[in-house]
Structure 1
Amino acid sequence: METLEETELCFPQLLNTSCTRSKVPQFETLFTYIVLSSVSLLTVSLNLLVVISISHFKKLHTPTNLLLLSLAVSDFFVGLLMLFQIIFIDGCWFLGDLMCILYQYLLYIITSASVGTMVLISVDRYVAICDPLHYSTKITQKTVKIWVCLCWIYSVIYPGLNLKDNLKQPGRYNSCFGECVVLLNYVMGIVDLIFSFIVPIILIVLLYMRVFVVAVSQARVMRSHIAAVRLQGSMKVTAKKSELKAARTLGVVVVVFIMCLCPYYCVSLTGLASKDTMFNASSAVFVLCLFYLNSCINPMIYAFFYPWFRKSVKFIVTLKILTSNSHEANIL
Structure 2
Amino acid sequence: MQTSEEAELCFPQLLNISCKKHIRPQSEAMLIYIVLSSISLLTVVLNLLVIISISHFRQLHTPTNLLLLSLAVSDFLVGLLVMPFQILLTEPCWLLGDLVCALHYFINFMIICASVVNMVLISVDRYVAICDPLHYPTKITTERVQICVFLCWGLSVFYSVALLYDNLKQPGKYNSCYGECVINIIGAVDLIFSFVIPISAIIILYVRVFVVAVSQARAMRSHITAVTLKRSETVTAKKSEIKAARTIGVIVAVFLMCYCPYYCVSLSGYELVMGSSTEVVMGFLVFFNSCLNPMLYAFFYPWFRKSVKLIVTLEILQPHSCGANIM
TM-score (norm 1): 0.87
Q: 1:246 to 1:74 in 2, by over 3 A?
A: closer
Name the counterpart of 1:300.
Answer: 295
Amino acid at match of 1:88: L
Please say which of residues 1-10 and 284-293 is displaced more in the overlay.
1-10
Is 1:139 the equivalent of 2:137? Answer: no
Task: Tell me the distance in 1 between the aligned counterparts of 2:199 and 2:43.
Answer: 22
* SS of the residue 2:14 aligns to: helix
Kept in 1, the 8 Å contact 2:119–2:252? The answer is no
Is 1:291 the equivalent of 2:289? Answer: no
Amino acid at match of 1:276: G
Task: Tell me the distance in 1 between the aligned counterparts of 2:245 and 2:56.
Answer: 32
Alignment RMSD: 2.5
* SS of the residue 2:177 aligns to: coil
Is 1:314 the equivalent of 2:309? Answer: yes
Task: Tell me the distance in 1 between the aligned counterparts of 2:309 and 2:49.
Answer: 10
Structure 1 residue ranges (4+ consecutive) displaced by more than 4 angstroms after TM superposition = 226-229, 241-248
Name the counterpart of 2:173.
Answer: 172
Out of 219, 222, 225, which is 2:220 matched to?
222
Higher helix share: 1
Task: Tell me the distance in 1 between the aligned counterparts of 2:7 and 2:83.
Answer: 25
Give the Å deviation of 1:160.
Answer: 0.6
Task: Tell me the distance in 1 between the aligned counterparts of 2:241 and 2:224.
Answer: 15
Name the counterpart of 2:11.
Answer: 11
Amino acid at match of 1:109: M
Kept in 2, the 8 Å contact 1:68–1:302? The answer is no
Summarize the alignment of residues 30-179 of structure 1 with structure 2, pairs less than 5 Å apart.
Answer: 30-80=30-80, 81-179=82-180
Q: Map Cα deviations across residues 32-71 of structure 1 (whole Å, 9 max, x no partner).
A: 2222112111111111111111111111111011101100
- Structure 2: unaligned runs, 5 residues or longer: 228-235
Give the Å deviation of 1:273.
Answer: 2.1
Task: Tell me the distance in 1 between the aligned counterparts of 2:33 and 2:272.
Answer: 20
Is 1:273 the equivalent of 2:272? Answer: yes
Out of 189, 192, 206, which is 1:191 matched to?
189
Give the Å deviation of 1:14.
Answer: 2.3
- Structure 1: unaligned runs, 5 residues or longer: 230-237
Amino acid at match of 1:275: M
* SS of the residue 1:174 aligns to: coil
Give the Å deviation of 1:3.
Answer: 6.0
Name the counterpart of 1:202.
Answer: 200
Give the Å deviation of 1:28.
Answer: 2.6
Give the Å deviation of 1:130.
Answer: 1.1
Percent of matched pairs sharing the same residue = 66
* SS of the residue 1:170 aligns to: coil
Kept in 2, the 8 Å contact 1:64–1:121? The answer is yes
* SS of the residue 1:178 aligns to: coil
* SS of the residue 1:9 aligns to: coil
Name the counterpart of 2:233.
Answer: none
Give the Å deviation of 1:310.
Answer: 0.6
Amino acid at match of 1:100: C
Q: 1:285 to 1:156 in 2, by over 3 A?
A: closer
Give the Å deviation of 1:6.
Answer: 4.8
Give the Å deviation of 1:246.
Answer: 7.6
* SS of the residue 2:13 aligns to: helix
Q: Map Cα deviations across residues 235-254 of structure 1 (whole Å, 9 max, x no partner).
A: xxx9xx99996896465334
Kept in 2, the 8 Å contact 1:268–1:274? The answer is no
Name the counterpart of 2:230.
Answer: none
Q: 1:90 to 1:183 in 2, by over 3 A?
A: same
Summarize the alignment of residues 222-241 of structure 1 with structure 2, pairs less than 5 Å apart.
Answer: 222-225=220-223
Aligned length, in residue pairs: 315
Give the Å deviation of 1:300.
Answer: 2.7
Kept in 2, the 8 Å contact 1:101–1:170? The answer is yes
Please say which of residues 299-308 and 57-66 is displaced more in the overlay.
299-308
Name the counterpart of 2:25.
Answer: 25
* SS of the residue 1:327 aligns to: helix
Amino acid at match of 1:35: V
Q: Map Cα deviations across residues 81-125 of structure 1 (whole Å, 9 max, x no partner).
A: 110111121241111111111111011110000110011000001
Task: Tell me the distance in 1 between the aligned counterparts of 2:7 and 2:272.
Answer: 25
